[in-house]
A and B are shown apart, each in its own frame.
Chain A
Amino acid sequence: MSPRSSRIRNIFEPLDPSLIAKLWQDRFGIPEQAFAGCKFFRKARSIWAISDADLPRLSFETIGMRIMSCKDRPWKPTTSALQIFGRYAAKNLIHLDREEAMIFLEGGSQVIESDCEIGYVVVFYRGDVLGCGLYSHGKLVSQIPKERRMASTVESEACPD
Chain B
Amino acid sequence: MDCLDRYREIVPDYEAFRAIQYLPLYNSARINTLKITREKLLERLEEEGVLFQSFHWYPLGLKLDIESPGKLLENLLGYIHIQEELSMVPPLVLGPEPGESVLDLCASPGSKTTQISQMMENRGLLIANEPSLARIAPLRSNCERLGALNVAVTRYDGRNFPRGPFDRVLVDAPCSSEGRERRGPGVLSRCSPERSQDLQVLQIGLLKNALRLTKPGGVVVYSTCTYAPEENELVVQAALGEAEEFRLEKVCIPGLLECPGITEWNGQRLNDDLSCTARYYPHINDTGGFYVAKIIKN
Residues of A within 8 A of B (CB): 1, 6, 37-38, 49-51, 53-66, 78, 80, 83-84, 105, 128, 130, 147-151
Contacts and interface: CB of A to CB of B under 8 A. Distances in A.
Given A58-B127, A78-B144, A65 B149 contact: yes
Contacts of A64: 149-152
Contact of A105 (B76, B124, B144, B163): B76
B152 A62 contact: yes
A65 B150 CA distance: 8
Contact of A150 (B76, B145, B154): B76
B152 A65 contact: no
Contacts of B136: 61
Contacts of A37: 123
19 contacts: A1-B156, A6-B155, A38-B149, A53-B101, A53-B123, A53-B124, A56-B164, A58-B127, A58-B156, A59-B154, A60-B152, A60-B154, A62-B153, A63-B152, A65-B148, A80-B145, A83-B35, A83-B147, A84-B149
Given A148-B145, A150-B73, 14 more contacts: A1-B131, A51-B125, A51-B149, A53-B124, A59-B155, A62-B143, A64-B150, A64-B152, A65-B147, A83-B147, A105-B73, A148-B76, A149-B76, A150-B71
A50 B144 contact: no
B140 interface: yes
A58 B128 CA distance: 12
A54 B141 CA distance: 24
A78 B127 CA distance: 22
Interface of A (DSSP majority class): mixed
A150 B106 CA distance: 30
B163 A50 contact: no
B59 interface: no
Interface in B141-183: 141, 143-145, 147-157, 162-164
Contacts of B289: none
Nearest to A149: B76
A143 to B, nearest CB: 14
